[in-house]
Structures are given as C-alpha cells and as structure tokens.
Amino acid sequence: MKRRKIPKKDSLAVGAQSCATECGERTNVIAGPSVLSKPNFRRSSRITASDLTKRERNLLLKEQEYRLRIQQLDERMSSLLDREDEAAAKLSQLAKKEAQNVLGQLEEHFTCALCYEIMAYPYTLNPGQCGHTFCAICILKWFFSRLHRVCGGWHEAVDCPICRSVLVITPDHVPRPPTTFPFVPNRVATAVVESLVEKLARSSPPVVKQEDPEALRMSETDKEGRKQKREVPKLEDDCSSEVDLDAWREGGSLRIEWLKRDSDGKREMNNIVRSWSTLGSNDFLLLKQRLEV
C-alpha cells in the first residue's frame, strides 16, 4: 500500500500551528505563578475604638477570674495549714501522753523502796520467801550499814527492809560458798526498766514543719487572722509532769542521775560477786567506807 504524500505547504502550516500552540502553553505556565504570587499591597484596616473596648473588657474579665482562682487557692492553702497544725498538735499530745504512761509504769512498778527513785540495776534479796527488789547500790549500802566497824562482821541478823525476812547468814571463814551471797540479779526488771528509760529519752516532741513564706501568697493580715482563728488543742496535764518528762529526756537531770546510779551499782555489785568467796573482814570494812555508810 502506498503512503500518501503531504504537500510541503501543508506540513509547514501544521508545524507552525503546533509550535504556536506549545509556545502559548509555556507562556501561560510561566506567567501563571507570577500572577498568583503577586503580593497584595492593600493597607490593613485599623483597629476601631469599639474593638479596643471589647478587648479591654475581656482582659478585665480574665483578670477577675485569675484573682478569684488565687483567692480560692489561698483559702485552700490556709485550710491545709490549719489541718497541718492540728495534726502536729495531736501528734505532740499523743507523744506526751505516751511518755506520761511510760513514766507512770516506772513509778508504779519499779520504784525502789529505799531511795524512792526509779530502780537502777535492780537486785533481789536471796531468800525465796522474800523476793523484794531494790537498786543495786541502795541494797549494798543498806546491807553494809549493818556491818560492825570494829570487827568487820555482822553480829545481828540482816533482814529485808520491807517484809523483815532474814537473809542468808554470811560466813566468817573463807572461802565461803557462792550460795551465801545475799543478792541475786533481777534480769527481767533490769531489761524492762532500761527499755522504759530509753523510751523516755527518745520521747522528744515532734518537730512542726515551718511555713514557707515564698509558697504562701497571703497577706500579713490574712496570716494574723488565720493564727487567731486556729485553735490548738491543749494538754490537760500539769506543769510538774512536763518538767519530769523533760528531765528524763536525753541530757535531762533525772536521766543523768539514773545513769550514774546504774553505773555505780553495776560496778560495785559485779566486783563483790567476783570476789565474794575470798573477801575478809578488812575488805568488808573498805567496802563500807567506799559506800559511805
């Protein structure tokens, strides 16, 4: 099949027309974005007085809302501080009541009948029918007060200062058996007394948390009003019991005195127990002199 030949004039016209079409499209593509991206040089409209008034009114409303929130937060903070102070006061009251109960137990069950103080290093008299307990240093002073100063012996029977039960007679000859020692340690009473005394030493009132002035946004008048409004529960005990509790705490006068009596009694009693079987009349006289009886 033979191809049809296009005249040269017609091919030139078609080529010119297609070229013109392509050039027009390129012109439109290039010109389009430049027209769209052309900036708008119109001046922005100015804010009117009514808009300013409306904005100012909105700002005032927000300020009032924030002030109300701040006031509510201050009230909540004041309420929390009141609760904290009330809890601290109750804790202090409970600690003092517990310390008073401990001191009451010591005074009721562990008071020495010779010195009328809390027992220090308690020792019990040897006869089984007696069993009364005293401070170690007190019972030693009482026992050696019956020693005769001339011969260094006991001419009379030594009895209990409470029930008058006769103690084991101390033999004059040495070595004497350990069973003739007139005292036995009361380890249960010693453990209980030491535990209760240590509780009194640690019964310091709880530390109240101080208020942080930067954390509070209350004025001084609000703080004064809150302090006047707050009611701290008061203890029903008297001042004398409070003084006694302070004296039994760490560094107190009664605690220092008890520690000294406990140390002296432990030292003297242990020395006598170790050398009891070999002690003679001269040794007993020296002990009487050292005990100052």
**Residue 291 lies inside a defined structural domain of this protein:** yes
Alpha-carbon distance values, 26 to 13, 16, 29, 220 (Å): 20, 15, 5, 80
Show the domain range for 191. 111-203+250-293
**Residue 106 lies inside a defined structural domain of this protein:** no
**Residue 103 lies inside a defined structural domain of this protein:** no
153: helix, strand or coil: coil
**In the chain, how many domains are there?**
1
Cα–Cα distance measured from residue 250 to residue 203, given in angstroms and rounded to the nearest whole number: 9
Query: By the 8 A CB rule, do 85 and 225 touch?
Result: no
Other Cβ atoms closer than 10 A to 232: 11
CATH number, domain with residue 184: 3.30.40.10
Cα–Cα distance measured from residue 266 to residue 123, given in angstroms and rounded to the nearest whole number: 10
**Residue 194 lies inside a defined structural domain of this protein:** yes
Torsion sign (Cα): 69, 75, 79, 80: positive
pTM as predicted: 0.64
Query: Among 104, 133, 105, which residue's Cα sits nearest to residue 119?
Result: 133
**Residue 123 lies inside a defined structural domain of this protein:** yes
Task: Look up residue 182 and give its DSSP letter.
Answer: S
pLDDT in tens, the chain (293 residues): 445 555 544 544 445 455 445 545 444 444 444 444 555 544 556 778 888 888 999 999 999 999 999 999 999 999 999 999 999 999 888 988 999 999 999 999 999 999 999 999 999 998 767 889 999 999 999 999 999 888 888 878 888 999 888 888 888 888 999 888 999 999 999 999 999 999 999 886 555 455 554 544 444 455 555 555 455 445 454 555 677 889 999 999 999 999 999 999 999 999 999 999 999 989 999 999 999 88
**Residue 42 lies inside a defined structural domain of this protein:** no
**Residue 119 lies inside a defined structural domain of this protein:** yes
**H or E segment at 291?**
helix 281-291
Write out the two tokens for 103. Answer: 């001191």
**Residue 2 lies inside a defined structural domain of this protein:** no
